[in-house]
Structure 1
Amino acid sequence: MTLTGTSPLASPNAPLLDGPALWPAQAHLPTVLGRQLVIDRGEGSYVHTTDGRRLFDGTAGLWHANVGHAHPELARAAYEQMLRLETYHIFARFMNDKAQALGERLAAIAPIERAKVILNSGGSDAIDVACKLARRHWQREGRASKKVILSREFAYHGLHAFGTSIAGLEFNREGYGTDSLVPETARVPLHDAEQIARTVAEIGPENIAALVTEPVQGTGGVNPPATGYLDAVQKICRDNDILLILDEVITGFGRTGAMFAAQRYGVRPDLVTFAKGVTSGYAPLGGVLVAPRIWEPFYRDESSTPVFRHGATYAGHATASAVALCHLDILDRDQLLPRVVELEAVLRDALDGLAQRQSAVVDVRVAGLLGGVTLADHLAAEHIADDMIDLGFITRPLRGNTLQISPPFIVSDDELVAFVAAIEHAVTARENR
């Protein structure tokens, strides 16, 4: 479309308004359009753009490409499943064999004993279901006032209605005409367990349904838990009869060196949300692991047993489930979780050296194959991320002027060190301008 005449749209903005039909996600459009990178191919830890660049994927897409790109076994798993049965829903009496098998597999590795598994299409779906289930649990228990969902400062829990409402990143909550799309929510500080206890006392534990937290915050700036923090949070929840929901959408399936970060940090949650790493992003799939205290009342053979109204067309998608099963086999066979533990040490050494050499690097944080590099205020993470593209590496700017490091688990030691070296090169170049 060409804009002409005296229309107010026919302005210097016209090239932007004539841009691609696809509306980019999470984008300030005037500063993104015309500079977009179109990815058309991947191989292992690298992706290729339509303009001929080969880029090291230092973020594993959006934290998900754990076994790398274009893995032939996962492609075959999807192809073979589609030839047999693309999918069939799992409503009421119906179930498909792959969703059933995946449920058993996930329950066996869950950080919750005797877990039940709710499947859906992704992390935002999972958060919505978990928060609804927490509230449904207390309503069924006859404790109708327990509705408030607590979440942490700088938290990111997707962008569905509940995820937007419990966001600890204020910019994800703004512009909708209300402080919270779902009104009964409140935020607590990032690492201050004592303040959480005070907030619980102020709101009243009789009014609080659940506390949601990422074990390691991702989008909020790669924030591992302070020593003893998760233990303290867990105790507060137990002492006040508040459900503990762990958002393991990023950390689940090996990103911290354990299958779930709950296992690494010794946390016993009531609900766990997952997505991303369950399929390494090869198919959209997420879900919730549910503890017995919550699921058992919905399973009793009584006329008064309630129905939890969850479910979507693609929940338990057979092809996505087949891909997830194949992916879990690859994680086991290729010993990728022990490999993450090895890579954590490599990354920690490289980032410690970077911080020692560069005064513009004010902090580095590592948990498994998750790293964050916080830069001094005068050095914008957005600019460094752009410069890194020109050096052949992908990183992302996160909250707190922080650069994201979360490459695939198949990265070599040398590639990981080279990635950190490229950050140093970009920082030095900017400092010397």
Structure 2
Amino acid sequence: MTLFDNYPYYNLDVAKASNEYIIDKNGKKHLDLRSGLWNVSLGYRAELLTRIQKKMSMLLADGLFYLDIHSYHHGIYQEFAVSLLEFANCGHHAFHKVFYTSSGSEGTELALKLSHFNQQRKMILAFQEGYHGTFFGGMAVSGVDCDISKAYNNVNEHVVFFPAPRNQSMLDELLAFIDRNKETIAAFIFEPVIGSSGTIAVNDTYLNILMKHCDMNDILKIFDEVATGFFRTGARFYYHKLASPPDILILSKSINNGILPFGAVLIGEKVSGLLLNKHIDHFSTQNGNLLSIHAANETLNYMIEKEAEIKRNVAEMENCIKRVFDHYSMRYSGAGAMFSITINDVNITNRIVNELKEFGILVYYYYDYSNEGVNSGITLFPPLFLDANKLEAALHIICKKIKRYL
């Protein structure tokens, strides 16, 4: 992700965390508008952590910290799978099977393997601005840093990138390509809001048309909701805002509030049908890690309890962000509680990010390697419980600092 001998980006010596703050060894509080690395969506809340700590203590008291899910049963495997499916389906029947993974990157790897069973087709479509992880499969379909992945012997030889459609002409070009190549396209992998290139929100109408076109041509729809899932854009998952569900749903990050490495891939009946009597060559030692699943189960229960509050707060934050950014005439994009401000100068971006850190505000930067850094700026992923008034105060500081340079 960076030069081999680089220091950590912030080089901040962290001592503790509380609610929406990271606190360094000198006791200085930093407002975390990054939600960790987009995964501590609920913040560093003692209430949630106490629940998880209690559950883990019970497991450890029984000597249970690891089981090989390939060989043994445990009640939590089925319990969490059922709960996650009910939560993701939200009254519908989009998904009915769960694969456990250790990360979002592994989730992409698995999803691409599953797409291989779609009539042995090889071509994968992906958005040029998208990012899907650092395993070989993820690198292959990550357009944002495809130039870097060339060092790994053309891992994307069967991948075709298209820019995320911003107008009807771009959409028509993409649809025409699908029509010409429908017999060879196995899957299209999406981020409904592209995170790593500046929170690009693809028009819902375009997404619906594109997904319908995939269905008409038996092309699997893979939704990467590693960043957008679990209320980040207001809904439980972004696909709930659309006319139809994807065939494969990749989840990680907020699934257990970043407490332990964990993820899941959900599939529906269409993909299950393709897998009947097939051998799936995928396994990781830590898939089904008991502590990780229990952390996810407690986190999901907590989210369900607080769902109305989370949705209300995300809506308030979205309104606050748009209002303040419009006031300062910022160039921005995003949805819910994930927004970016365009700066398009890497040096200025780094300067602003570090000045904000010294002020006690932590933000994320983005840099599009595929566009020679022309597309760059800062990204905000505030914790979902963050008070909108506190967010607004920070936004004014951020915008004023940006205005000094632009």
With normalisation by structure 2, the TM-score equals 0.89
User: Hey, what does 2:61 align to over in structure 1?
Assistant: 83
CA contact (8 A) 1:155 1:169 kept: yes
Q: What is the CA-CA distance between 1:113 and the residue it aligns to?
A: 2.8
CA contact (8 A) 1:151 1:167 kept: yes
Which amino acid in structure 2 is aligned with residue 254 of structure 1? Answer: F
User: Hey, what does 1:132 align to over in structure 2?
Assistant: 113
Shift of the 95–297 alpha-carbon distance from structure 1 to 2, 3 Å rule, reads farther
User: Hey, what does 2:177 align to over in structure 1?
Assistant: 199
User: Hey, what does 2:322 align to over in structure 1?
Assistant: 351
Residue 384 (1) aligns with residue 352 (2): yes
Shift of the 172–415 alpha-carbon distance from structure 1 to 2, 3 Å rule, reads farther
CA deviation digits over 1:203-239, x for unaligned, max 9? x111111000011111121011124111011012012
Q: What is the CA-CA distance between 1:263 and the residue it aligns to?
A: 0.4
Q: What is the CA-CA distance between 1:346 and the residue it aligns to?
A: 3.4
Specify every segment of 5 or more residues in structure 1 that has no aligned partner in the other structure, as ranges: 1-25, 300-304
CA contact (8 A) 2:187 2:221 kept: yes
User: Hey, what does 1:365 align to over in structure 2?
Assistant: 333
CA contact (8 A) 2:324 2:396 kept: no
1:43-192, aligned counterparts within 5 Å?
43-69=18-44, 71-84=49-62, 85-91=64-70, 94-111=72-89, 112-135=93-116, 137-138=117-118, 143-144=119-120, 146-170=121-145, 173-178=148-153, 180-191=154-165, 192=170
- Give the secondary-structure state (helix, strand or coil) at the position aligned to 2:223: strand
Which amino acid in structure 2 is aligned with residue 122 of structure 1? Answer: S
1:3-42, aligned counterparts within 5 Å?
26-28=1-3, 32=7, 36-42=11-17
Q: 2:208 is matched with which residue: 209, 224, 231? A: 231
Which has the higher mean CA deviation after the structures are superposed, 400-409 or 275-284? 400-409
CA contact (8 A) 1:81 1:322 kept: no
CA contact (8 A) 1:122 1:286 kept: yes
Q: What is the CA-CA distance between 1:423 and the residue it aligns to?
A: 0.5
Residue 280 (1) aligns with residue 252 (2): no
CA deviation digits over 1:330-354, x for unaligned, max 9? 111123x553443334333343333
Aligned equivalents of 1:131, 1:224: Cα separation in 2? 23
Q: What is the CA-CA distance between 1:30 and the residue it aligns to?
A: 6.3
User: Hey, what does 1:261 align to over in structure 2?
Assistant: 238
Q: What is the CA-CA distance between 1:98 and the residue it aligns to?
A: 1.5
CA contact (8 A) 2:230 2:236 kept: yes
Shift of the 232–48 alpha-carbon distance from structure 1 to 2, 3 Å rule, reads same
Shift of the 33–186 alpha-carbon distance from structure 1 to 2, 3 Å rule, reads same
Q: Find the structure with the greater CA-based Rg.
A: 1
CA deviation digits over 1:38-64, x for unaligned, max 9? 223111111112344311100101111
Instruction: Give the alignment's Cα RMSD to 1 decimal.
Output: 2.2
Q: 1:425 is matched with which residue: 385, 394, 400? A: 400
Which has the higher mean CA deviation after the structures are superposed, 341-350 or 421-430? 341-350
CA contact (8 A) 1:97 1:318 kept: no
Aligned length: 388
Aligned equivalents of 2:177, 2:20: Cα separation in 1? 44
Aligned equivalents of 1:31, 1:283: Cα separation in 2? 25
Aligned equivalents of 1:185, 1:366: Cα separation in 2? 26
- Give the secondary-structure state (helix, strand or coil) at the position aligned to 2:295: helix
CA deviation digits over 1:241-276, x for unaligned, max 9? 100000010111111111111102334110000001
With normalisation by structure 1, the TM-score equals 0.83
Which amino acid in structure 1 is aligned with residue 349 of structure 2? Answer: A
Aligned equivalents of 2:151, 2:274: Cα separation in 1? 36
CA deviation digits over 1:176-213, x for unaligned, max 9? 253x31521111121132222122244x1111110000
